[in-house]
Amino acid sequence: MLNGKKVIVVMPAYNAERTLKQTYDEIYKDFVDEVILVDDFSEDNTKELAGKLNITTIVHKKNRGYGANQKSCYLAALKANADIVVMLHPDYQYTPKLIPAIVSMMAFGQYDAVLASRMLGNSALKGGMPLYKFIANKFLTAFENFFTGEKLSEYHTGFRGFTREVLEKLPLADCNDDFIFDNEMIALLFCHGFTIGELTCPTKYFKEASSINFLRSCKYGLGVLCVSLKYRLAKCGLRTKIFKTGAKKLDPSAKIEYYE
């Protein structure tokens, strides 16, 4: 805990067997109250390894997608009475050592959400990010900042923190079940007036780290552009799906199946 806030780390996992232990070992256990992993029907031994590490583990009965995985993560965290939730990819691309810094930015009421940015401090290319990914990240971020009127350094990080209020109030159940979920969530944060902080984060690109292929990257990029346009339409009074009044929120009473 920090400042009386219960801290839970959630890890959306898919075929993370090779990097899970390394990621988990660097989490500061005296600072984090619980770690919850959601295995999105992996083809390797992710869930078995998570069990050996005594991580609270949820297993989807079929592959539901990255966004659906996060929804299960946040539902489980709400059920466990988390006050602050940190979402960390278990592929060891981001350092868990920054979790205390992320949490402290929310635990004392300064921010409602925190993004660990690879673009602050020029660490992305130094960490091995492919040049085409770096350029695409910069372009998409500039496009999003233009249409949202905000000034984030990166919208595409997989290392984020949220307060309980954010997870309870945002209509996340209506968000996409695939990778575009991340961008929809940030747009919703803006739409609902939540404050977002950023901190610089080193990154590591290596063979075992997860990465989407070029075709899916293109699909993701188009999705990002669409989210930005929908956000602008919503700001102009044209409510589109996730921005409409009464959109569905996560239901903490929903049943989640745990792996044993």
In the numeric block, which tokens belong to residue 14?
A: 């898919």
Cβ atoms 77, 38 nearer than 8 A: no
Tens of pLDDT along 6-50?
A: 999 999 999 999 999 999 999 999 899 999 999 999 999 999 999
Residue 211 covered by a domain: yes
pTM: 0.92
- pLDDT score recorded for residue 163: 98
CATH number, position 53: 3.90.550.10
Tens of pLDDT along 55-68?
A: 999 999 899 999 99
Tens of pLDDT along 219-257?
A: 888 999 999 999 998 888 877 778 777 788 998 887 776
Non-local CB neighbours of 24 within 8 Å, separated by 6+ positions: 35, 53, 55, 90, 96
Residue 258 covered by a domain: no
Cβ atoms 73, 82 nearer than 8 A: no
Q: Domain of 189? A: 7-243
Residue 252 covered by a domain: no
DSSP letter assigned to residue 172: G
Half-sphere exposure of residue 229: CA atoms within 13 angstroms, side-chain side: 6
Q: How many domains in the chain?
A: 1
Half-sphere exposure of residue 126: CA atoms within 13 angstroms, side-chain side: 9
